[in-house]
Structure 1
């Protein structure tokens, strides 16, 4: 049974075998099993191309049941929280985000089998004009591409640098309990990308309040992968090699503007694929059993006390 899955490099193939329990001889059968399951779900409109589905299998360590659950949740989130996906690549804010360097993914991995690194700079966008949801929606264009284009991200996972320089109270006030819940469900529960670490730089007053609230929503594994470096870049370099970082962070991997150009070209390459991807989601009126609701998935009002900032 032939499959259309890109061959892994030797280093990633070994990591996939050891850490994700990938057995090349079983991949075709596992993919067919998932496709057959999708075909029997009346509520689910899902991609069935092999490279997309193998990303979910790898993200779930080839557990067929977990893969089904994550696929269903992924498309449910798209339907229940359309604001997380509502800014397509042809929206002016997507170009603005790239131009400002609000969210970029570094094209070069630190090592052949190392996690991919992204940099988020929320202080770069105008909080009086846009929300953190806009940033997430725009960045999801890049994250969708990663799932089918970058084997390091899928097999080895991802690390994020969250640079809070320039973040204001207006940015903080956008981080409601509901917003944080949606962010966590989308990234931790509904995505096959495995979070290997978040590194906080240039943290302003009030940051600890947000971090404490976020930790309430994270699983134990991801709580232990949060690192606050503030202005200590040398500590950051112990986790992410300096030479793969942009020049702006003391690295040698080009400027943020050059990396943004890389992503402009990549989005152009995938534009038809991204257009096609808009059709997928769930129709909850056709779900067997009880339909899912946004309240079921994100209803966390009252889970936190009102956030208090110093």
Structure 2
């Protein structure tokens, strides 16, 4: 158990009450999952205690649900490789990170309050980058959060989706298949519990994408969508202004400073991230039916008929 970080008392109590965490059984639960991984011929997965603990917590210590989520997490690397193609060594990685399209805010609301991610699709040029490439970069950051941010796992995450400067070019990248991949990743593969998604600066045409995405979500996540548009005051009731970047009137550092913070984190985690590239699934060895992209996400289509100014 020495490889697991001790939790502050308040957070440990939250994990006990909300996630069924029991310090007496964590060790045997971890052992159970490790033994299960060993027996899966198709699965190459990390077995660090802290890593597996994130998945156990995200699944409220249901061993079966943890196995399903871990399996899906690694299967996506095979069935949706475009979501992982820009890794930390890729020439585009820092270029995309510099845009600040996805940043996890280092300044938290408090020990037992959800962590906050800020997503700004309008910060990238859709003629130069794809949404998959931007998601790839965010997935690298996500791996680091899974390893080191207990609060994000235990208390959950709130997302701010600021659609300022989003264009038709951005919307056309959001095909039904692309949306399905992103929803499966968020809802079925990662152990983050999304406590709210807050939409700001919504442009014309937004409803088409919003409703299509909403239809893919489970009821719990549907009930946690908030469209604030220009009403920032409404958002501040959920996410205190103080923790936001300076560009949003907060004291959480500038977006550029937050990007630099994440670049440093990526450097610190470079060995971990190098090692992580070997993990995934070999669907030809999966017992039963292999998972395929077509089965999981359907076939390509687009929203070309969108009306947009």
Q: Which is worse superposed, 37-46 or 5-14? A: 5-14
Tell me the TM-score normalised to structure 2 length.
0.97
Which residue in the other structure is 2:29 paired with?
30
Separation (CA, whole Å) in 1 of partners of 2:131 and 2:305: 17
Aligned length: 308
Which residue in the other structure is 1:218 paired with?
217
Partner SS, residue 161 of structure 1: strand
Asked if the contact 1:109–1:152 (Cα under 8 Å) also holds between the matched residues in 2, the reply is no
Which residue in the other structure is 1:66 paired with?
65
Tell me the TM-score normalised to structure 1 length.
0.96
Are the structure 2 counterparts of residues 154 and 215 from structure 1 closer, same or farther at C-alpha, using a change threshold of 3 Å? same
Which residue in the other structure is 1:122 paired with?
121
Separation (CA, whole Å) in 2 of partners of 1:127 and 1:92: 18
Which residue in the other structure is 1:203 paired with?
202
Asked if the contact 2:198–2:227 (Cα under 8 Å) also holds between the matched residues in 1, the reply is yes
Pairwise CA distance, 1:289: 1.4
Which residue in the other structure is 1:107 paired with?
106
The within-5 A match list for 1:220-299 is 220-299=219-298
Residue deviations 1:182-203 (CA, integer Å, cap 9, x gap): 0000111110011111111111
Asked if the contact 2:161–2:198 (Cα under 8 Å) also holds between the matched residues in 1, the reply is yes
Which residue in the other structure is 1:139 paired with?
138
Separation (CA, whole Å) in 2 of partners of 1:166 and 1:305: 19
Asked if the contact 1:118–1:159 (Cα under 8 Å) also holds between the matched residues in 2, the reply is yes
Asked if the contact 1:3–1:50 (Cα under 8 Å) also holds between the matched residues in 2, the reply is no
Asked if the contact 1:118–1:158 (Cα under 8 Å) also holds between the matched residues in 2, the reply is yes
Separation (CA, whole Å) in 2 of partners of 1:166 and 1:74: 32
Which residue in the other structure is 1:309 paired with?
307
Separation (CA, whole Å) in 1 of partners of 2:243 and 2:10: 18
Cα root mean square deviation, aligned: 1.4
Q: Which runs of 5+ in 1 are unaligned?
A: none
Which residue in the other structure is 1:7 paired with?
6
Pairwise CA distance, 1:307: 5.7
Asked if the contact 1:209–1:307 (Cα under 8 Å) also holds between the matched residues in 2, the reply is no
4+ runs deviating over 4 angstroms: 304-307
Separation (CA, whole Å) in 2 of partners of 1:243 and 1:172: 31
Separation (CA, whole Å) in 2 of partners of 1:290 and 1:27: 32
Asked if the contact 2:115–2:157 (Cα under 8 Å) also holds between the matched residues in 1, the reply is yes
Partner SS, residue 237 of structure 2: helix
Which residue in the other structure is 1:47 paired with?
46
Separation (CA, whole Å) in 2 of partners of 1:104 and 1:307: 31
Asked if the contact 1:93–1:138 (Cα under 8 Å) also holds between the matched residues in 2, the reply is no
Are the structure 2 counterparts of residues 243 and 92 from structure 1 closer, same or farther at C-alpha, using a change threshold of 3 Å? same
Pairwise CA distance, 1:308: 3.5
Partner SS, residue 116 of structure 2: strand
